[in-house]
Amino acid sequence: MSSLQQHDIPADIACCHDYERYAEQILPQPHWHYIAGGSGNESTLKANNIVFDKFGLQQTLLPDINQINTRVILNSERHENPILVAPIAYQQLAHQDGELATVQAANAQDISMVLSTLSSTSLEQVAQYQTSQPLWFQLYIQPDKEHTYDLIKRAEQAGYTSLVITLDAPINGLRNREQRHQFSLPEHIQAQNLQPYSQSVSNQAATGLSSQQVMLSRLLAQSPRWKDISDIIANTRLSVYLKGILTVSDAKKAKELGAAGIIVSNHGGRILDGVPTSIEMLPLIRQAVGHDIEILCDSGIRSGSDIFKALALGANSVLVGRPVIYGLATAGAMGVAHCLRLLKDELQLTMALTGCASISDITIDKIRLP
C-alpha cells in the first residue's frame, strides 16, 4: 500500500467533519456527488445534518470520575469503542487503496469495519488485513439465491463474524445530484465480490435512473422478501443485523425473526427522500423492542457529541459512513485513522464533561430534548 505514509494530515483539520471540504476538492466532481449526494431534494440528507444539533447536552460539574471507559459488547464481541465503519461501496472511488486502507486504519484505532457487498476489493483480500478487530460483512441479497448463499459462505470462511443485511435498498434511490454529474463507475473499479456471478449484476450496482426504470418490474420481482431474511438467519452461523429499519413495526419484526440486532438507518439519505432521521426514530424503537436486541444507528454521525446523543437515545453503537470516506479521500489510511481517532477523543471528552465514566452511564437525562 504505497500511499500509507505518503499523505500528511492537513493541519487545519480539527474534527472529522473537516475532512469533507478536502474531499470535495480532491475528488473528481462526479465521484464527489456520488458519495456526498442524497436522493430527491435531499430533504432527508439535510435533516440528517441538522437533527443532532436539536438535542442539547447537560454538563455535570465537578464529576467524580478518574477514568473514561468506552468499551461495549456487540455481537458478544468486545469492541473498544461504540463505533463501526459503515458499509460503503466502491471505496477505490475515494482512494486507490480503497477498502484495504480503511480496514487497516480502523484496526489501528480498535474499530471494526463493515465491508460492503459492493466493495472494490474482495472480501477475502480485505480479511487478510484483518488484525485485532472483528470484521463484519454487509450483504445485499442477490437476484440469484445461490449467489446470496455463496456470498454468505465466503464471508463465514473468511472469518467475518456477523452479517449486516441491508433491507432499504431494493433499488437505487433517485439520486439527482449524482445523475446531474453523470456519475458512472470507472472501468477499473468493480464489485469484486460479485465477479464470480457476473451474469447477474447486482441491482445495487446499477446507476442511472433510466436503465433502472426499464428494469423496475424485473428488479421488484427479484428483490428479497421477508421470508428470504428468515431463511438466511436460519442458515448461517453468523449473527445477523438488519440494516435500514426506521419503524417500530419493522424493528419488532426483526426481533421476532431472531436478528441479533438492527441498524436504525436511512442509508445516509440516499434511498427514499422524505424518510425520517434515525435519531428521531431511535428512542421510539428502543422503547418498543426493549433491551434484548442490539440497536445500532447511523446517518449523520459527524462528531463524538453525535455519538453520545445516539447512545443516550438508545443505541448500543453507531456506524459512521461518509466522514470515513472523506478521510480516505484526503489522506488514505492516515486520514481514516485520524478521522476515527478524532471521533473517539471527542466521545471521551463529552463523557468527561457530562460525568460519564462508562458507556452505560450515557443515559437520556444527559441530553436535552428539543
Ligand X SMILES: Cc1cc2nc3c(=O)[nH]c(=O)nc-3n(C[C@H](O)[C@H](O)[C@H](O)COP(=O)(O)O)c2cc1C
Q: Where in the sequence numbering do the catalytic residues fall?
A: 267
What secondary structure does DSSP assign to 341-364, as a single string?
Answer: HHHHHHHHHHHHHHT-SBGGG--G
d(CA 320, CA 301): 6
88 part of the interface to ligand X, by CB under 6 A: yes
Three-state secondary structure call for residue 90:
coil
If one counts every other C-beta atom within 10 angstroms of the C-beta of residue 107, the result is 19
> 235 is in the binding site of which of a second copy, ligand X, none (Cβ under 5 to 8 A by kind)?
none
Based on CB atoms, which residue is closest to a second copy, 14 or 291?
14
CA distance between the termini of the chain:
46
**Binding-site string for a second copy from residue 254 to residue 273, where x marks contact by CB under 8 A and - marks none:** -----------------xxx
210 part of the interface to a second copy, by CB under 8 A: yes
d(CA 35, CA 187): 18
342 part of the interface to ligand X, by CB under 6 A: no
Angle at 171 between CA 169 and CA 176, to 5 degrees: 100
Cβ at position 256, least distance to a second copy in Å: 14
d(CA 183, CA 173): 14
Contact residue for a second copy among 82, 244, 269, 335 (CB under 8 A): 244
51 part of the interface to a second copy, by CB under 8 A: no
Contact residue for a second copy among 348, 359, 361, 362 (CB under 8 A): 348
Cβ at position 360, least distance to a second copy in Å: 18
d(CA 192, CA 202): 12
Q: Which of residues 90-129 bind ligand X (CB under 6 A)?
A: 116, 118
Cβ at position 316, least distance to a second copy in Å: 21
Q: Please provide the size of the chain in residues.
A: 370
Based on CB atoms, which residue is closest to ligand X, 206 or 357?
206
For helices 29-36 and 19-26, the axis angle rounded to 10 degrees is 140
- Residues forming the site for ligand X (CB under 6 A): 35, 48, 86-89, 116, 118, 138, 166, 243, 265, 267-268, 270, 298-301, 320-322
